[in-house]
Amino acid sequence: MASNAISGVGTKIYRRKAGEWEPMAEVNSISGPGMSRETIDVTSLDSNAGYREFISGIRDAGTVSLSMNFTHDTYSQAKADFESDVANEYKIVVNNPTKTTLQFSGLVTELPLNVEVADKISADVTIKISGAVTLTDGTPTNPTNRTICTIKQNLLKLWGYQQRITTKRP
């Protein structure tokens, strides 16, 4: 069976600024969201199976970590989010046919700069997610020939219908 794996190349992360989505440039890797769930131990003396019993607790959407090439613009953008006390909106768009999107609000909690003698200067950004992560599929950016043919057929049907109406008028 063939794999349905997807390469990470082309995946992008965006941040919302003044109502518009702007890409965060020079990102080398994205890790997360690292979601988890707390559990509450409800084992009692009546529990007779010999195992602890748990119920669901609060969920934590975790963090998203970015590794980026340092440029003044990328670092400045991340630093502005770090300095803000208000959660910003972000979205990760996976480079698959349906453009799977993970959207969330979060606060930049860490912004270390990495400078080494024999390597590029880089910055790591950690975003603590506030609330839930929304997972959606977008619209394919390259419609297939079948989609184009269906649209064309529908337009021709509509045009034919319009032609019949115009020809029946006196």
| Structural domain count, the chain | 2
| 157 within a domain of the structure (yes/no) | yes
Same domain assignment for residues 73 and 151: no
| 3 within a domain of the structure (yes/no) | no
> What is the reported pLDDT for 139?
59
76-80, 97-101, 105-109, range with greatest mean pLDDT:
105-109
Same domain assignment for residues 79 and 51: yes
Res. 19: pLDDT tops 60 = yes
- Residues 41 and 54 sit within 8 Å (Cβ to Cβ): yes
Condensed to tens digits (0 to 9), the pLDDT of residues 3-12 reads: 888 898 999 9
Among 5-19, 83-97, 107-121, 145-159, name the one with the lowest average pLDDT: 145-159
- What proportion of the chain, given as a percentage, has pLDDT over 90? 68
Residue 68 CA to residue 28 CA, distance in Å, equals: 5
Structural domain range at position 164? 141-170
Q: Find the mean pLDDT for residues 15-32.
A: 93
Res. 150: pLDDT tops 70 = no
| 7 within a domain of the structure (yes/no) | no
| 30 within a domain of the structure (yes/no) | yes
Res. 91: pLDDT tops 90 = yes
Residue 52 CA to residue 43 CA, distance in Å, equals: 5
Same domain assignment for residues 47 and 113: yes
167: confidence class by pLDDT, cuts 50, 70, 90 = low
Q: Which two tokens mark 84?
A: 């803000």
Same domain assignment for residues 146 and 116: no
Same domain assignment for residues 129 and 155: no
